[in-house]
Structure 1
């Protein structure tokens, strides 16, 4: 039986953005292009339950189904600087035809406002670009995955296919977040801001004139939809559980429709989901939505003020759509990569087969219960022999408001194939179990640390085959923070790999793109009122205790957990003559392990794996 290899990542297909309309079913397929060190994104369609290629250019990741005969998408196939073209592709064969060109880069098509007018969206810079310096005078001045955003705003346009007139709907410092078309009008959330962006945005309507539909005030609108012509807001007040509080369903006047305690969307972590999807969809007189429950995704519907379970799935639902009463979705099954499925008469039918794992060792997650109603999983090493001793790796998820599930996680499967026990869990702070379980504000490094140590103890007790002197620990983002915290509070781990981490909540609060509000919310402290509390929760405070050889992985365009966080821990360890190393990736951001350039993703995993091999074997 073959092992899972690091380079297998280059062969995986990542699906998403499924849309169904007028009998047409189209989705996006992303795959690594090793030669170009990039990703190819192509459009695929489904006919008679068979998957066919629609495009081969490799740059199409967004589209709009025009009718049963054609789709529209934006791109720049002629590589004209600061330009976007609008293409129409016949579903009956032939090449995509350019039907319009705009002197603006990065435009995307939302759909038709009426029979001859399209709505489009793009991000624009309000001032002339400078070649060798940047000016920062507002926050956020950069955003992870977007780079420098100072004086950048997302704007909406309409384009008349007959008159060729392009009209700007939103202008100047107005910034659009989310836009949808309903009944011939364009609805969008956004705000007009300078100096400091607000967390709260109003909902507007454009039908030739702009009007305010909903004033958000102290409520954040996550998304919105129209059900039976009535507006449904998915929003949060943040009153009881802070910024991570799960949203509820409200009407246009912010009257509560139903009190939902779980999240809306897929928060199950994996390094094998590259293409975005949808969390909500309106069908008939119901709003369908994905939610994360414990360690998996379910599909629910909100109808007549009540929420009903529609479909329970043990893995992930990345994107979904309906054709009549048949559900189509892209997701991952247990210990599996993404596929396209349909659900008919209660039966799940797999329609795609690109990600094949025949004659390959894929470790099935074995559940381990610990603490007070907590759950984790263990992957057994390839060719497992109960009479032998093995090294092990504890992997800690990010967030902290995400979850680990039982779907395929490439890095963990690589380590299992290389002869490691791999164990991971969902502790307090994780998603999928309601607001109270999620809420660890002001508690970082306390209950979460204790539960991770309880889990490690339980795994070692359950599997005496693990050599307790050969256990490593790793994690990214919140998992990186926790890795930094662990090595400052125990030397039980033989080595550590801290990725895109937080070391100092005081510096983080003033350098991260989300720092000014996230640090205060999560630690219940500010640098000016009670810096002592921020410092108490900072792993750097305890760096003098570290004895664990530690690898740091960071990216110089990570604006979520900026480079200075990793550098502070690295310097603190080297200053004490503790074995430490940093691998810094240029041009990458916080999402290196998920969406980074293929060669960088391979190098990252090789760095971590080699570090574990060096210290655990």
Structure 2
């Protein structure tokens, strides 16, 4: 097993520790796009006063980065031509309105060119004649303020709120005229604009939406729709239009269910769906962090080749496909977004133990183009690998952060942090909550058990096994960390996690008393209730547990942490949000009541107006309070 070197973290006594309020100092980058000689990206910063995120546009050109906007609303933009961008916003703060602004990249102020009677319009792209393609969510039922009507599945969606009869519609806007392209019940899930054509993954549905909507090509000059991929053919994870057709990463979900990794296909107006190659890994960046709240891209067509990112174990790699898959660049961290300018690769990413910056790739190496998150004066624990044997004896790797001012002659408490998903991964990039706890004097350790992303379909497949092999992996990891690090006090261990990590926290406290404190976040406690209340419950439960209420309710109950609540002795904090429709509030409440009823110390903090993404993109003040709650809970019970 791997032993420790003596220089495994930045250990300068005069360096500042990570604090909860550091959240307000971080810059979050994303939405990188380029055209001709320039690239534009978004920088977001948490605004404590307004309790929101200020998002502004920056330009990269000839190696120089400069701000383009300053109002804090400009996250959704597109190139109108080589010298002009357009973006949506509401600078005048008019209720129920969205304004469209035009900004010259040669200088000057943004000009308002239109005001729409919608509060959620987004620009999907621009056509060659200057026509804007807009995506607007509309309500197809009467607008009542004191009640809602539900008659379809899903009737609410995490992050979108009540969605019954609400659909994302396509519009064209030119010279003040707004033209609809979609019917009232058509829902556009993904939209891309290329070569004066619009490509849409979506469907017209009533009562129950499909898990495999169709892919369409729309000729806006004639409002002509062509079906490229029929519904119920592929679960389309992402696609990229090219001159010779559309590249599609998708899966039929036959062998490994909904989480099956995609293969690469191509399809076009005059060419049938053709599999180009079996990929077998995920597409995109699935490395978890709480410091990346601006979106990015996973696919890009450049010079007739397809480029895409994939997560491998604990980091992200860039590949190219022409007639075969070719690895182009390995990022020892994450790639949030990428593009090309003059043949040069630009990317927004985070290196090991670091926050996001804009980088240029030259001669196979990275050159930093920005220093928004200069950490020269901040102490950062560098993740150290721990090799351990998984439940099947296979080699696995987890990580440990050492506490600030570590003294090998002292002992310290520790926190096991479990990721969500389960098909995501933890890597080595900067994670605010973990760095905070390391600065607070904790060992923080985490791993990617079976069910995680970044590996094969077989590794990620824990359908019908939740709480068994994955639990075994995690406990073996904890055992190895305790063996490798004698300074970690086995009597002062805490455990926390969100979503799947919340489920696993609930499961752990019902199966072992080795943890003195737990913080269960946005969790699942009862697969029976979850299957009928979550926005994804009806299909996710059947797929992941291999059981339904009609088929095998006992199996659902076997995998439910609530069944084992009678065994719990661990003081447990529950964190939940009342607009979390992915893991509804009732899941945490059931576990809370089960513990309180048995006189076990428990507490719940409910955040109003937040959803499942509280820890990643929730209101800044709520994120600070959440982290304060967890940290205080651990301090009270482990220190």
**Aligned match of 1:173:** 185
Q: Deviations over 1:182-213 (max 9, x none)?
A: 32221211111011111111111222222322
- What SS class does the counterpart of residue 70 from structure 2 fall into? coil
Match of 2:348 among 312, 322, 330: 330
Structure 2 matches for 1:314-463, cutoff 5 A?
Answer: 314-371=332-389, 372-463=394-485
Return the alpha-carbon distance in structure 2 between the equivalents of residues 347 and 404 of structure 1. 24
Structure-1-length-normalised TM-score: 0.98
- Of 128-137 and 412-421, more deviation after overlay is shown by 128-137
Corresponding residue for residue 63 of structure 1:
77
Q: What is aligned with 2:526?
A: 504
Secondary structure at the counterpart of residue 92 of structure 1: coil
Alignment of 1:13-412 (within 5 A): 13-161=27-175, 164-207=176-219, 208=222, 209-252=224-267, 253-304=272-323, 306-371=324-389, 372-412=394-434
2:7 alignment partner in structure 1: none
1:492 — aligned with what? 514
Instruction: Indicate whether 1:4 and 2:26 are aligned.
Output: no
Could you say what the CA RMSD is over the residues aligned between the two structures, in angstroms?
1.1
C-alpha separation between the residues in 2 aligned to 1:613 and 1:84?
Answer: 46
Does the Cα contact within 8 Å between 2:132 and 2:172 map onto a contact in 1?
yes
**CA offsets 1:499-532 (integer angstroms, 9 cap, x no match):** 0000000000000000010011000000111000
Deviation at 1:276?
Answer: 0.2
Residue 224 of structure 1 contacts residue 231 of structure 1 at CA under 8 Å; is this kept in 2? yes
CA contact (8 A) 1:228 1:284 kept: no
Q: Please give the alpha-carbon distance, in whole angstroms, between the structure 1 residues aligned to 2:339 and 2:154.
A: 35
Q: Which sits farther off after the overlay, 208-217 or 504-513?
A: 208-217
Where in structure 2 are the equivalents of 1:549-588 lying within 5 Å?
A: 549-588=571-610
Secondary structure of the equivalent of 1:612?
Answer: helix
Give the superposition deviation at 1:70. Answer: 1.5
Q: Structure 1: where are the runs of 5+ without partners?
A: none
Aligned to 1:394, what secondary structure does the other structure show?
A: strand
The CA deviation at 1:58 is: 0.5
Q: Could you tell me how far apart the structure 2 residues matched to 1:327 and 1:182 are?
A: 21
Structure 2 Cα separation of the partners of residues 213 and 166 of structure 1: 26
TM-score between the two structures when normalised by the length of structure 2: 0.95
The alpha-carbon deviation at position 226 of structure 1 amounts to 2.7
CA distance in 1: counterparts of 2:162 and 2:239, whole angstroms: 28
Correspondence for 1:519 among 541, 551, 562: 541
Q: Secondary structure at the match of 1:532?
A: helix
Separation (CA, whole Å) in 1 of partners of 2:61 and 2:85: 15
* Per-residue deviation, 1:101: 2.0
Q: Please tell me whether residue 533 in structure 1 is matched to residue 555 in structure 2.
A: yes
Q: Secondary structure at the match of 1:281?
A: strand
> Number of matched residues?
614
**Structure 2 CA distance, aligned partners of 1:345 and 1:294?**
25
Distance 1:183 1:50, change over 3 A: closer
CA contact (8 A) 1:497 1:608 kept: yes
Q: Once the 2 structures are TM-superposed, how far is the Cα of residue 86 of structure 1 from its aligned partner?
A: 1.3
Residues 189-246 of structure 1 deviation map (CA, whole Å, 9 limit, x = unaligned): 1111011111111111222222322213342122222334222221110010000001
Moved more, 538-547 or 21-30: 21-30
**CA offset digits 1:557-613 (Å, max 9, x no partner):** 000000000000000000000000001100000000000111100000010000000
Counterpart in the other structure of 2:10: none
CA distance in 1, matches of 2:416, 2:194: 48
2:127 counterpart SS class: strand
1:612 and 2:634 equivalent?
Answer: yes
For structure 2, the 5+ residue unaligned runs are 1-14
Question: What does the per-residue CA deviation read over 1:389-431, in whole Å, with 9 as the maximum and x for residues that have no partner?
Answer: 1100000000000000000000000000111000000110000
Report the Cα distance in structure 1 between the residues aligned to 2:524 and 2:374, rounded to whole angstroms.
Answer: 37
Secondary structure of 1:317's match? Answer: strand
Asked if the contact 1:22/1:67 (under 8 Å) is kept, the reply is no
Which residue of structure 1 lines up, in the alignment, with residue 4 of structure 2?
none
Q: Alpha-carbon deviation of 1:468?
A: 0.6
Cα displacement (A) at 1:120: 1.2
CA distance in 1, matches of 2:399, 2:411: 19
- Tell me how far 1:79 sits from its aligned partner: 2.3
Contact 1:236 1:248 (8 Å CA) reproduced? yes
1:167-190 per-residue CA deviation (whole Å, 9 max, x = no partner) reads 100021011111122322212111
SS in 2 for 1:254: strand
1:435 Cα shift?
A: 0.5
